[in-house]
A and B are shown apart, each in its own frame.
Chain A
Amino acid sequence: MRNSKVLMAAITGASLLALAACSQGTTTDPTSASSSSADSGTTTEVTADAPAPFDGPVRIAIVQQSGQGDYFQQYLNGTRQQAAALGVELDVYDAQGDNATQASQLDQAIASGVDGIVVRHGYPDTLCPGVNAAIEKGIPVVIYDVEIQTCAPDAVQTQQSDADMAGLVLDQMLKDIGTDQKVGYVNVAGIAPLDRRDVVWRAALDTNGWQQMFYTGSFTNSTATDTAPMVSSALKSNPDVVAIYAPYDEFTKGTLSALEQNPDIASGIKVYGADISAADIELMTAEGSQWVATGATDPNAIGAAVTRTLFLHMAGELPKGATVDFPPILVTQDFLRQNNIKNMDDLRAAEPALNISDVSGADWIPSVTF
């Protein structure tokens, strides 16, 4: 009896060590994790030798605020594949939404002696000391979508270009409906990317002589469901709008269901949205859909482009404090229908620009395309 207990202790101790040892084998190969479920990419040919530090082994880290959800999984997939394409080892620190943990993990990433760090989302106040500490130690840092310019001016800033995303869609809207029209708007204030789209919207209202008849929307855990009744009431009191701009796909979905609930007044109203996903494509191409245009980026491609930006910065080909925007493309309902596009793969095939493989590209970086 006692014999077996001692044995058990030995086994548990040994297996704990074995567990630690095993993990090395399974994860130093960064491609193994991505092959399971995510979109696999292909890489472009390189025509030059990689400069220092990429002539030797290189390790980078991504310190992300949260990895949950489809969008962020695709983002990380892009990051992984781009790192693997250049033979760079990638450590992933995921704070699972906990900001204090993210600050600690940034410290740990610095202490672990990586050669470069990507910091993705989080609070500027939380991340600023760590980002500056890394730069002081000579570790290049690339930030994605954290407003940290003022306190960490030496970090390289990247973001999806929300201004372009709004601009492309609103130009299309102008083409479709012309100037001096009555329009509706679905958005909320206080969320950074949505605020950036809002700036473009205000400018478009002025230059195009559009009259904003309503401004509504609700950002919650079930944004689409909660936004629908608000848009529905707004429509009832403003049945003469010809177009609605809803610059976030959950708002767009809510707007579409509000239109469905009011078929008598809603027919003929065009809806302009933002973002893209397989579900969004289905909604846009559905019979009688009023969602006519959207602005789109591919999270896989952005995750890869952020990594390339870090490579350029590490190689000294991108200066401290540089800003890199990842441009979106315009996707219209007509385009989707004409090319019989059913999902993201079809869209990528029809619109290679979605890969943004030329952004932060170099002749020594094999760009990943999806």
Chain B
Amino acid sequence: MTGQLSETTTLTRIQDWVVKYGFIAVTVGLFVYFAITEPAFATSSSLFSMLKFASVTAILGLGVTFTMVVGGLDLSIGATAGLAVQLAAMTMVFYNLTGPTAVVAVLLGGLVVGLLNALLIVVFRIPDLLATLGMMFVIQGAKLIPVDGQSVSSGMVLRDGSVAPGSFTPDFLKIDRGFIGPVPLPVVIMLALVALSWFVLSRTTWGRLMYAVGANPEAARLAGVRVGFYHGLAYVISALLASVGGLILVSRIGQGDVNAGSSSLLEAVAVALVGTSVLGMGKPNAWGTLLGALLVGIVLTGLTMKGMQYYHQDTAKGLVVIVALLFSFTLSRKKLRYTPAT
């Protein structure tokens, strides 16, 4: 009897360890494995290009994280990034304005999308998923109207037959192509936003109340929390983060690519979900989302270097998500605080 009890305790301890550190262990293990077997993998240029690749996914993932914290999910995040791409291109190419103006225009655009999402969800009480799904389609369509469905590039011929006057300014292109020391600028932006998001979510009253709203809106309301405000705030933050992601995207592409951002939604949701399993937290968190984006980057870079076919990549991504969810849902003994959006 006693023996059995102590055995259970040991197993429980192992299980807790696996839940808490298992995912980090898998990440580190894969990293070491790739670094040993592929000499080019752990070079600084390879690591920085991997981080750069992960930056947009991570930043959009942070947006998803905020909305998951309040118990929702922002499906319009990829479309909002795409809108940012279009707005930046139009500001500089059509209207010949400066790079900083384009950044302001993009952030204003993001703010409007966030407020509209908040309006639909909080004031009109449309369920999160449905409101943002509708918003996703609206943005995807609406952003094409002023550009006649064409990708915006410098020197393009406009509807009236004249040539577009502006072009992408060098300072704007630095957003993705610039460096601070040896570190690419988008990586710096990503790390800064992760740190900021962590601080807001974990160290401020606003963040804690957001978690409270997500865990049990009714209890939060009875405790005197302005549930609607925090719920809406998450969507405004999410749209702003998506806009920053879009700024990096458009600066990387150097054109107002009409398809940009559309493939980012599922990846962002995936890394935010992966992030819930880190350190056995079982709840959406900023560092976890970063780790999720890095893990996806490590797996894809490593497997590509190993010569894996590109069409296997989605399968690999999916397995990463499922393994992560096994850690947080199947193995965890803790009752999860993540409540799915309705």
Which A residues contact B (CB, under 8 angstroms)?
Answer: 2-3, 5-6, 8-9, 12-13, 16-17, 19-20, 23-24, 27-28, 33, 67, 89, 91-94, 96-101, 103-104, 107-108, 110-113, 123, 125-126, 128-129, 190
Q: Note all chain A residues with C-beta closer than 8 A to B202.
A: none
Are the CB atoms of B306 and A107 closer together than 8 Å?
A: no
Are the CB atoms of B43 and A113 closer together than 8 Å?
A: yes
B311 at the interface (CB under 8 A from A): yes
Q: Smallest CB-CB separation from B150: which chain A residue?
A: A190
List 17 additional A-B contacts (Cβ < 8 Å) besides A13-B323, A23-B303: A3-B11, A6-B14, A9-B18, A23-B308, A27-B308, A28-B307, A97-B259, A98-B260, A100-B257, A111-B40, A111-B49, A112-B46, A112-B304, A123-B253, A123-B254, A125-B154, A190-B157
Are the CB atoms of B260 and A100 closer together than 8 Å?
A: yes
Are the CB atoms of B18 and A107 closer together than 8 Å?
A: no
Name the segment of B26-34, B62-70, B100-108, B235-243 touching the other chain: B26-34
Q: Note all chain A residues with C-beta closer than 8 A to B30.
A: 16-17, 20
B310 at the interface (CB under 8 A from A): yes
Are the CB atoms of B330 and A104 closer together than 8 Å?
A: no
Question: Can you list 20 A-B contacts with CB-CB less than 8 angstroms, sorted by A residue number?
Answer: A9-B326, A12-B323, A13-B22, A16-B26, A16-B30, A17-B30, A20-B34, A20-B299, A28-B307, A67-B311, A94-B310, A98-B263, A99-B260, A103-B253, A104-B52, A108-B50, A108-B53, A111-B48, A112-B40, A128-B254
Given A16-B26, A16-B30, A99-B260, residue A107 in contact with residue B49 (CB < 8 A): yes
A128 to B253 Cα, complex, angstroms: 10
Q: Smallest CB-CB separation from B177: which chain A residue?
A: A129
Are the CB atoms of A6 and B18 closer together than 8 Å?
A: yes
Q: Note all chain A residues with C-beta closer than 8 A to B204.
A: none
Given A2-B12, A101-B263, residue A108 in contact with residue B323 (CB < 8 A): no
Contact of B153 among A92, A93, A123 (CB under 8 A): A123
B327 at the interface (CB under 8 A from A): yes
Which B residues contact A (CB, under 8 angstroms)?
Answer: 8, 11-12, 14-15, 18, 22, 25-26, 29-30, 33-34, 37-41, 43, 45-46, 48-50, 52-53, 56, 151, 153-154, 157, 168, 177, 249, 252-255, 257, 259-260, 263, 299, 301-312, 316, 319, 323, 326-327, 330-331
A19 to B33 Cα, complex, angstroms: 12
A23 to B41 Cα, complex, angstroms: 16
Contact of A8 among B299, B304, B326 (CB under 8 A): B326
Are the CB atoms of A96 and B319 closer together than 8 Å?
A: no
Are the CB atoms of A24 and B18 closer together than 8 Å?
A: no
Q: Smallest CB-CB separation from B320: which chain A residue?
A: A16
Q: Note all chain B residues with C-beta closer than 8 A to A17.
A: 29-30, 33
A248 to chain B, nearest CB (A): 19
Are the CB atoms of B33 and A20 closer together than 8 Å?
A: yes
Give 8 closest A-B pairs by Cβ, nearest first: A125-B254, A111-B46, A94-B310, A27-B307, A113-B40, A107-B49, A104-B53, A23-B308
Are the CB atoms of B15 and A2 closer together than 8 Å?
A: yes
Contact of A13 among B29, B38, B45 (CB under 8 A): B29
A282 to chain B, nearest CB (A): 29
A125 to B154 Cα, complex, angstroms: 9
Are the CB atoms of B56 and A67 closer together than 8 Å?
A: no
Given A9-B331, A108-B46, residue A99 in contact with residue B29 (CB < 8 A): no
Contact of B306 among A23, A101, A103, A126 (CB under 8 A): A23
Q: Note all chain A residues with C-beta closer than 8 A to B310.
A: 67, 92-94, 96
A104 to B56 Cα, complex, angstroms: 11
A4 to chain B, nearest CB (A): 10
Q: Smallest CB-CB separation from B156: which chain A residue?
A: A190
The CB with the most chain A CB atoms within 10 A, among B38, B49, B301, is that of B49
A220 to B25 Cα, complex, angstroms: 49
A80 to chain B, nearest CB (A): 11
Q: Note all chain A residues with C-beta closer than 8 A to B301.
A: 108
Q: Note all chain B residues with C-beta closer than 8 A to A28.
A: 307
A100 to B252 Cα, complex, angstroms: 6
Q: Note all chain B residues with C-beta closer than 8 A to A8.
A: 326, 330-331
B56 to chain A, nearest CB (A): 7
Contact of A96 among B8, B50, B263 (CB under 8 A): B263
A57 to B46 Cα, complex, angstroms: 21
Q: Note all chain A residues with C-beta closer than 8 A to B259.
A: 97-99
Are the CB atoms of A91 and B52 closer together than 8 Å?
A: no
Q: Note all chain B residues with C-beta closer than 8 A to A125.
A: 153-154, 168, 253-255
A169 to chain B, nearest CB (A): 27
Q: Note all chain A residues with C-beta closer than 8 A to B319.
A: 16, 19
A64 to chain B, nearest CB (A): 9
A102 to B327 Cα, complex, angstroms: 33
Are the CB atoms of B309 and A110 closer together than 8 Å?
A: no
Given A23-B306, A28-B307, A108-B49, residue A126 in contact with residue B22 (CB < 8 A): no
Are the CB atoms of A91 and B11 closer together than 8 Å?
A: no
Q: Note all chain B residues with C-beta closer than 8 A to A24.
A: 37, 306-307
Q: Note all chain B residues with C-beta closer than 8 A to A104.
A: 49, 52-53, 252
Q: Smallest CB-CB separation from B154: which chain A residue?
A: A125
The CB with the most chain B CB atoms within 10 A, among A19, A24, A104, A110, is that of A104
A29 to chain B, nearest CB (A): 9
Are the CB atoms of A91 and B304 closer together than 8 Å?
A: yes
